[in-house]
Amino acid sequence: MEGGGAMGSVEDAVRSDVEQLGDLVGVEPSLTELAYALAGRIDAARTGECETCGEPVAQDDRLLPQLARELRQTLAQILEGRAPDDDDDLGDLGSPD
């Protein structure tokens, strides 16, 4: 995490999940960085600490729903690009058994 602070639990989980995806392609690296930033913001809002210096600040829970929604959408977009193309509605009917 930038600023030398420790990672929070949400960012740590997101980084672990992304690591399991393997090599990132196309826009995935950009989306991944966005996901890390959003997760870091969620952790900072949850813990009530300054994102820059780590000092305690007044907690503002009003941002959490919006940040969580954005993080879910970003992660879904990363996974969407990895979904196998299954345009064949008939499965393997075209191949003999």
| Residue spans per domain, the chain | 7-80
Residue 43 main-chain phi, psi, to 5 deg: -60, -45
Amino acid (1-letter code) at residue 63:
L
- What pLDDT is recorded for position 52? 81
User: For the chain, what is the mean pLDDT?
Assistant: 81
pTM for this prediction: 0.70
Is the Cα dihedral 23, 29, 31, 34 positive or negative? Answer: positive
Give the containing element (helix H, strand E) for 24. Answer: none
Distances (CA, A) of 36 to 41, 74, 84: 9, 10, 25
pLDDT top residue among 2 and 16: 16
- What pLDDT is recorded for position 77? 94
| pLDDT over 90 at 38, yes or no | yes
